[in-house]
Copies of this chain bind each other. A is one copy, B any other.
Amino acid sequence: VSDGGLLEPGVHRAHGVADDAALVSAMLQVEVAWMRALADGGAASADHLDAVVRAVHGWQPTLDRTEIEDAGNPVLPLVRALRERVDDPDAARLLHAGLTSQDVLDSALMLLAQDATARLLVDLGRTAETLARLADEHRGSMMAGRTLTQYAVPTTFGLKAAQWLVAVLDAADHLEVVRRSLPVQCGGAAGTLSRAADLVADPGAAAAALADGLGLAWPGMPWHTRRAPVTRIGDAVVEILDALGVVAADLVTLGRPEVGEVREGPAPGRGGSSTMPHKQNPVLVTLVHAAALQAPQLGAQLHLCAGQAVDERPPGAWHAEWPALRRLLRLSVATTAQAAELVAGLRVDTEVMARRAHEAADQLLAERGADGTGDPAAYLGATDAFIDAALARFHGGTDGA
């Protein structure tokens, strides 16, 4: 066991996301789809394709770790093992013909991203729904506004939820844009499709067929050294964790016993201490907060590699992308699931909010000056209008990105 799950609490929520089995399966999908593209282009027969489909069917190979290192990536060992399974020698020869390792691995990673982003969108949707409900329900739940840690003017918990909501909607819209253009990689040895051009009349058409077969986009050229498809996934995912991180950071404060305005809901068996029987630790808050502290470095890793993608395919800058991208996908899927559960279970104590706002009324109304009425609830400005704007955005699905 070397999988690190013990040090990533909640990562089981990302079960199947970008793990080794999913990667192998995605790489095999790419090889089969390419064989189909070759068949479409007349380079392979239906029998060749069948032979490869048969060989892949139900196959769950275990790749040798030494071979992966010797190849520098998992594609070569996989292709080699698959060729041995294909019972038609011509089909075995045609398998992978015209592709390079990076075509297979990049495309497979895009498939993993497609899966992960679908899951992210579902959980962001659940979170948005909850937040929209909270924004509406609590439009009258007055609380102290806090700036630079001190009391400022009154606000409402509804507006806070509305702000969280719009951040989630913006991040989801951003992800949706990225998701729609996840590209297939297809360039052959050095991005010229030279070998494919020997096999089929129109290698660009074969690349487009590969994309179609996988549900990805063909951007018209390979992108072996243009890594924006990777960094844009990273940026969008980090933006999600930024948005959820703010929710968690707010709850770190609002759930302190001295504040006690909004707390993580209890769950059986959750949040206990190894030593203190009374403890009810805000576990989901902690884990979401921790994720927001980790995401920026992972996103930076992707950009760093993108700026060093030298030659026709780079030595190292490509390899250094993989663990960061994989980790970002798994971390974000797990965290987004945690966040959806967290907001759904929040305990909002409107009485504490109101009592505090009244006790702090002098400070909360100081801005208004001497003619203040003394009732913080009469000094809520545009809170309702802002909540309405956020809810309209949520219901209309208009893109504010």
Contact = CB atoms under 8 A, between A and B. Distances in A.
B72 A281 contact: yes
B226 A79 contact: no
A54 interface: no
B257 A151 contact: yes
A145 B190 contact: yes
A123 interface: no
Contact of A147 (B154, B171, B277, B313): B313
5 contacts: A71-B283, A166-B226, A189-B276, A195-B367, A290-B317
Given A167-B228, A231-B235, 15 more contacts: A9-B69, A71-B272, A72-B271, A72-B287, A79-B274, A148-B315, A149-B282, A149-B315, A151-B257, A152-B273, A195-B367, A220-B393, A249-B308, A295-B307, A296-B303
B252 A323 contact: no
A293 B311 contact: no
Nearest to A160: B312
Interface in A220-250: 220-222, 225-228, 231-232, 235, 238-239, 241-243, 245-246, 248-250
A228 to B, nearest CB: 5
A238 to B, nearest CB: 5
Given A297-B298, A323-B4, A360-B257, A249 B70 contact: no
Contacts of A300: 296-297, 299-300
Instruction: Pick the most buried of A79, A219, A289, A393: most chain B CB atoms within 10 A of its CB.
Output: A289
A240 B47 CA distance: 47
A11 interface: yes
A293 B320 contact: yes
A46 interface: no
A319 to B, nearest CB: 4
B150 A307 contact: no
A300 to B, nearest CB: 4
A316 B286 contact: yes
